[in-house]
Structure formats: structure tokens, C-alpha cells
Amino acid sequence: MDVPHQLGVLAVILFAAKLSGWAAQRIGQPAVLGELVAGIILGGSVLNVVDSHDSILHFLAELGVVILLFEIGLETDLRKLLAAGPAATAVAVVGVALPFAIGYGVCRAWGLENLVSIVAGAALTATSVGITARVLSDLGRLQEPESQIVLGAAVIDDIIGLIILTVVAGMTEGMDVTPLGIVQITAVAFGFLVVTLAVGTLLVPRLANAIRRIELPGVTTTAALILALGLAWLADVCGSAMIIGAFAAGMLLTRTPQADEIEHGVAHIGQFFVPVFFVVVGAAVDVRVFNPLESDNWESLAVGSGLIVAAILSKFVSGYAPFWFKGRKAVIGVGMIPRGEVGLIFAQMGLASGLFDAGLFGAVTLMVMVTTFIAPPLLKMLFPPTQQSLRHQDGIADLVT
Amino acid sequence: MDVPHQLGVLAVILFAAKLSGWAAQRIGQPAVLGELVAGIILGGSVLNVVDSHDSILHFLAELGVVILLFEIGLETDLRKLLAAGPAATAVAVVGVALPFAIGYGVCRAWGLENLVSIVAGAALTATSVGITARVLSDLGRLQEPESQIVLGAAVIDDIIGLIILTVVAGMTEGMDVTPLGIVQITAVAFGFLVVTLAVGTLLVPRLANAIRRIELPGVTTTAALILALGLAWLADVCGSAMIIGAFAAGMLLTRTPQADEIEHGVAHIGQFFVPVFFVVVGAAVDVRVFNPLESDNWESLAVGSGLIVAAILSKFVSGYAPFWFKGRKAVIGVGMIPRGEVGLIFAQMGLASGLFDAGLFGAVTLMVMVTTFIAPPLLKMLFPPTQQSLRHQDGIADLVT
């Protein structure tokens, strides 16, 4: 292994991610989009600087997504989430079921296999909390009822998405797809989350108290990271997903007295690892499959177009699920459109398991990118930015950049 | 590759390092000693949790030492270092020549072959910049003239050690080593540092100015890390050492207006990676070769004892080389004692080439360990920690702990 070369590649990844993220913001798009584009450009099909199969980069990217979910967990107050109301739950449930059903239908109609269609459909389910929260806070609209519903729904559908991820991950590893098996995996995934949150709610405040007595610089952030990494490992051992463990760790730490210190410390580490995740995901995209002049690509372009339409319409409709809500339902629907990290995780899982070919992987990645591109300008139209927001941004904005 | 398992191992490493580092501090020792002990306990010869040959851990450890040297560079004022130049050079030259000569002599006296004795002698030459700087900063003494001389000498003897490594590696591979070749390697290694500092002094302030105009959270720290990783890579490509490149990057950024922000941001990342380096170094030690009840170990224990005495005395004497220096020369001598990564690289090279048997490998490892363990308490006696460092408030202490 050539460590200096790896360090050089890491320097190039960080440079390209920040430059491209900054350029994306300059044209009114989220930084994450720029990072994906940077990945595509550095990837095997263009410059070939980043090899998305490299084991070191793969590890750093996985560490990045674990830290990202930990950060999102740190922003998620369980009580607020539960109090987010029936409206958010209605949006979340419809916003998972409908995209999954339509996405699955599109794939089946195209003649794809059952399991392949399930993974592709699942990739459409989870709204990106990070991107949505970032856009709403950029608009200065985070405290309005529509935004609260969108955020609540996005968090709930992220949890549902993570559970689907565990079920689907079990399936891609060749486990039997019996209804009993699905119930079992769901029970394990839910069970892990419930038990972890229950035990953690009892233990974590005591641990947080004990840690305060240890005088060692950086001990709080390190202890928090140990919890996040440890629960990520434990989740995997228990048959759940690493990112569920990291997310649970974040939620458990939200209400400790050290939450702000942890958020601050982890943000610095996240700025280093999270872009690596998005760049490595982008680097796995083979842009050649989007070339419409190549007749081999027509199929994936057609499936991709179908998935994009399904992804946009189904989440838009989910905004109307809380029919009793008196506010702007279109805002909710549009706010739910952007897919992000969870969709990309599904895409990568599909590719790694051999279920997705380069074309379908490209189609799903294209869907994530288009839904992410389309939402900010639409939201801006329906939900004009406040004067305040034009002057500058909010706390959550730091999180995902 | 099993990512969740790797994350679990990382959690264990961080936990053991912090716990053991804290315990070391409680008994009045630097935290770094605790981290090395944690590594030995987690290593292959005791608990076998940490595999020091694992490529991911190896990468993270190397990233850790690069970030450590970057942090130390950030604390190093080039002008102060140049002021320490003549004294540091004297210490470095004597501190390479004497250990090499005595170590070679001990091995030859024991009847070992010429080439074997050269490699073993070479393993005694390089002071570990990482361990020494870490101990000095734990004591809150990094800015004093003695520390500046030790640091300068350690950097110079790392460069010399690298040259010896290149030459000796050529010898072990049976290459013809001409005086011209040695001059060439030397010129390249020193040339890199001089050219980088000269070019960087012109360019870095302009870059720092440009970066201030980019409004993106964390952009300053990321830009600094990109410079550190990039120069680490460039140093290696140019035939110098990665850590020299990272050190140069730190020195170049010390006097930019963003130095404090960078130090703060990098400290958070360092708290994550630096302990991994010390734990992985500790994990490479096989404690079984030190069992005195096993007669197979007697020879290596005897040679090891000879090398330890040679290693300690020769570096201690080198502290007196700058006879004109009015400060505490004993502090300089003791500060030069700890060997670390470079010594272990020589030992591993000797083993891999078949020149060293397990016993001699153990003997050299023992020398590295004992010199590392003996220096911190001795230094602490000669160079009591400042009040400031006892409160853990010192910026540098935060940085590397």
C-alpha cells in the first residue's frame, strides 16, 4: 500500500469537494450537489483520480456516512420528533409507501427482476434530512408549520428508510425473502433501535456525568465518537445497519449538557470525512451510461427518467396526505422531494451486491441528483426567502456543508 | 473488508488510548506513554485486538503522524527554529554519528555480521519527533530554547535517518552504494525542505488571503489540511519524508491570520487520529521476546541491553555537542533519547530482508520501547511542567493530547 499516494488523493478529493461545493452554492444549489459533481469528475469515467473500489477510500467514505448520520442524530430531538404530529407521520408514511410502490412498478414494468426492483424502489423512499433542512434554513423558513412538518416527516422517513435498508441489505446478501423473514429483520432493526434508545436513555446521562469529571482535552468529543462508532459496530453485529447505530448515538447525546460541545467537535471531523463519502459516491457514477447517442444506454436512461418522474410526483403527492392541514401543502410536497445520502447508500448497495448494473446505478444516482437539483429553486418560488435569510445562514446550515 | 468491524476496532483503540492516557497522567506521566501501553496491550502478543499490519489501521496511523507533525509545525516559528539552527545541527550530527558508531560496535563485538550491524546501528540514529514533541508539549515547554533545539535536531536527524534508510535499504537489496549516490539522496531530501519553505513563504500568504473571501463553513481548516496532505505527498515524491512535508505545511501557516482557527480545527481532527498512531506503534511490539525465563531470548536480551545503553548514552552526550549553548544541555540530551517510528521501520526492514532474526528484531524493538519510556519521566524531572500545562489550558497541549 502506498500511503503518500493515498494522502495525495485525499488532498485532491477535499480540494475538489470544497471548490465544487462552493461553486454549487454560488449558483444557488446545495454544496452536496457540488461534491457529487466533483466525485463524478474525479471518478473512473472522467479523470480517473479516485478509484471508488479502493479499500482505504471506501473505509473513509463509510466513516464519513457514519459521522454524517451521527451529526443528523445530534440534531434530532426524540421528543420533538414524537410531538411533530400526525401530519408529519402521514406525510412520512405516504411519502415512503408511494415512491416505493411507483418506483418498484416502473422497474417491474420495464422487466427488471423482483429484488432489483425492490432495491431501486427503496432508493426512492427517503427524503434527505440534511439537504431539506439546509434549504429551508437558507430560506429563513425553518420555524414555519410547513417546514416543521417537512422536517418531522423527513426524519421519520429516514428511520423507515434505514429499516428498509436493513431488510433490503439482508435480501441482497441472499437471505430468504419470506414474509416471516421480513418481519424478523424488521423486528431486529426496530428492536435494536428501541432497545438502544431505551438502554441509552438510562445510561448515557450517567456516562455524560462521569465524563465531565475526566480532565483530558477533547475527551467529550472522543467519548461521543466512541459511542457512535461502537453503536455503529453493534448495530451491524445485531443485524441492523451501521448508520442506524450512529443515528441512535446522536439522538442519545442530543439532550446531554455536552451536546453543543460534541456538535462543534464532530462538525470539524465531519468536514473532513463527509465530503469523502459524497465524492466516492459520485466517483462510482459512470457518466458514459448517460450518453444518449449510445443505444446501449437507452434502457437505463428510460428507467432513470421513469424513476425521476416517480420520485418527484410521489413525494409531491405525499404533501397532501395530511388533508386536514390548512397551510400550503404544495410547499410540504416540494420540500419532501430531495433525496440524498440514503438514496445513494441504496444505489451503492445495489452496485456492490451485483444487483445493479452500471446503467441502473447511474439511473438511481441521476434520480438523486435531479431531485436534489429541482427542489431548491421550486421551494424558493413557492416559499420566498425572508429578509433575514438573505443576510445569512443558520446553525443547521453548518452541519451538511 | 469488514467496515463495521474496523469501526469497532477504532472505537476500542480510541477508548483504550484515552483511558490509558488519562491513567498515565494520573500517575504523573505524559498521556502518550499511556497510549503506547494501550497499544501493547491491544497488540498481537497480548489481547490481539489490534493488528498492526492491517492496512486500514496502518493508513490511519500514518495519517495520525502526518497530522501530528502538521500540528507541531503550526506551533513552530521558522525564525526561532533557524535561530536554534547551529546548536540543533550540532546535536543532530553528533546524535546520528555517535549512536550509529556505538550501536554498530556493540553488534560487531557480539559477533554479528557487518551489514546486520549497520542496519542495527542505523536503527539507533533517529529521534522520534512525534514522541519528543508530544512530551514537550504535554509539559507546556515547547517554546523554550532547549525544546526548540531538540525539535530542530529531531527534524534534522529524521532527514538524516531517512537518507540512511534509503542507503541501507539499497544495501540490503544488494545494490552498489556509491558516495555520489549518497550525496544525491542527501541533496534531494534537504533541498525539498528548503525549496518548499522558500516557495511557500511567497505563496501561502496570498492563498490565505484568497481563502478568506470564500464563505463556506470549515473552509479554512480544510484548506490547511489539503496543504498538509499535499505537501506530505509531494515530500515523498521528491524523495524526502511525508512527515517533513506536513511539518513544513504547519510552519508555513503559523504566521497567517487564520493560524488560530486552523490550530483549533486541526486539534479536533488530531484528537481522533493521533492516538491511533501511538496505539499502532505499541501494537507492533511482541512482548514475548522479552521473557527472561526463555533461554532463546537471552541473546536478544543481551544485545538489546547493549543497544539500550548505547542508545541512551549516545543521544544524551549529543545534547552537549553545542558546547556554546548556555541553557540546560542535559534537557537537550534527554529530549533526544526517544526513538520511535523510524527505529521501528529499520527493525522491520531488517526482519523483512532476512538480516535480523526474531531475537535481533526484538532487541531493536526493546531499544525503541525503553528509550521511549525512559525519556518522559526523566524529562519531567529535569524540565518540570509549567502551571499552565497542569491546567491543560495550553493551546498546544489541547492540540496533541
What distance in Å separates the CA atoms of residue B43 and residue B207, rounded to the nearest whole number? 43
* Side-chain half-sphere exposure of A390, counting CA atoms within 13 A: 5
pLDDT value of position A289: 76
Instruction: Render pLDDT for B237-278 as a digit per residue (tens, 0 to 9).
Output: 887 778 788 888 998 998 888 888 898 889 888 888 888 988
Instruction: Render pLDDT for B211-220 as a digit per residue (tens, 0 to 9).
Output: 887 767 778 8
DSSP B101-168: HHHHHHHHHTT--HHHHHHHHHTTT-B-HHHHHHHHHHTT-TTSHHHHHHHHHHHHHHHHHHHHHHHH
Q: Is the pLDDT of residue B204 over 60?
A: yes
Nearest CA in chain B to A225: B11
What distance in Å separates the CA atoms of residue A304 and residue A314, rounded to the nearest whole number? 15
Q: Is the pLDDT of residue B110 over 60?
A: yes
Chain A contacts in chain B segment 209-248 (CB below 8 A): 214, 216-219, 221-223, 225-226, 229-230, 232-237, 242
Q: Decide if B63 and A229 are in contact by the 8 Å CB cutoff.
A: no
pLDDT value of position A163: 74
Q: CA of B317 to nearest chain A CA: how many angstroms apart?
A: 35
- A110-114, A225-229, A394-398, B191-195: lowest mean pLDDT where? A394-398
State which amino acid sits at residue B154: A
pLDDT value of position A81: 62
Q: How confident is the model at residue A90 (pLDDT cuts 50, 70, 90)?
A: very high
Best mutation site among B231, B272, B273, B341 for testing chain A: the one with the most A CBs within 10 Å?
B272
Instruction: Render pLDDT for A51-70 as a digit per residue (tens, 0 to 9).
Output: 877 889 989 988 988 898 88
pLDDT value of position A398: 42
Question: What is the interface size between A and B, counted as CB pairs within 8 Å?
Answer: 151
Q: CA of A370 to nearest chain B CA: how many angstroms apart?
A: 23
State which amino acid sits at residue A220: T
What distance in Å separates the CA atoms of residue A177 and residue B358, rounded to the nearest whole number? 53
Beta-carbon neighbour count of residue B88 at 10 Å? 26
Over its C-alpha atoms, chain B yields an Rg (Å, rounded) of 20
Nearest CA in chain A to B219: A18
Largest pairwise CA distance in chain A: 66
**Alpha-carbon torsion B339, B342, B348, B354, what sign?**
negative
Mean pLDDT, residues A5-28: 90
pLDDT value of position B1: 60
Q: Decide if B4 and A242 are in contact by the 8 Å CB cutoff.
A: yes
pLDDT value of position A83: 63
Q: Is the pLDDT of residue A389 over 60?
A: no
Task: Collect all residues with Cβ–Cβ distance below 8 Å to A101 and sequence separation of at least 6.
Answer: A121, A314
At what angle are helices B145-172 and B85-109 packed, to 10 degrees?
Answer: 40
Q: Decide if B217 and A271 are in contact by the 8 Å CB cutoff.
A: yes
Output A269 or B30, whichever has higher pLDDT. Answer: A269
At what angle are helices B55-74 and B3-26 packed, to 10 degrees?
Answer: 50
pTM: 0.81
Q: Decide if A233 and B59 are in contact by the 8 Å CB cutoff.
A: no
Q: Is the pLDDT of residue A399 over 50?
A: no
Domains (ranges, CATH) in chain A? 54-399 (1.20.1530.20)
Query: B92, B140, B151: which is closest to B335 by C-alpha?
Result: B151
**Which residues from chain B sit within 8 angstroms of residue A235, using beta carbons?**
4
Q: Could you say which of B11, B225, B398 has the minimum Cβ distance to residue A14?
A: B225
Task: Collect all residues with Cβ–Cβ distance below 8 Å to A318 and sequence separation of at least 6.
Answer: A91, A92, A94, A95, A98, A99, A153, A332, A333, A336
Beta-carbon neighbour count of residue A278 at 10 Å? 30
Q: How confident is the model at residue A97 (pLDDT cuts 50, 70, 90)?
A: very high
State which amino acid sits at residue A17: A
Cβ pair B55, B247 in contact under 8 A: no
Contacts of A15-18 with CB under 8 Å at 24 or more apart are A15/B226, A16/A41, A16/A42, A16/A279, A17/A275, A17/A276, A17/A278, A17/A279, A18/A275, A18/B216, A18/B219, A18/B222, A18/B223, A18/B226
- A69-78, A221-230, A359-368, A391-400: lowest mean pLDDT where? A391-400
ipTM (interface pTM): 0.80
Q: Is the pLDDT of residue A391 over 60?
A: no
Q: How confident is the model at residue B170 (pLDDT cuts 50, 70, 90)?
A: low
Q: How confident is the model at residue B47 (pLDDT cuts 50, 70, 90)?
A: confident
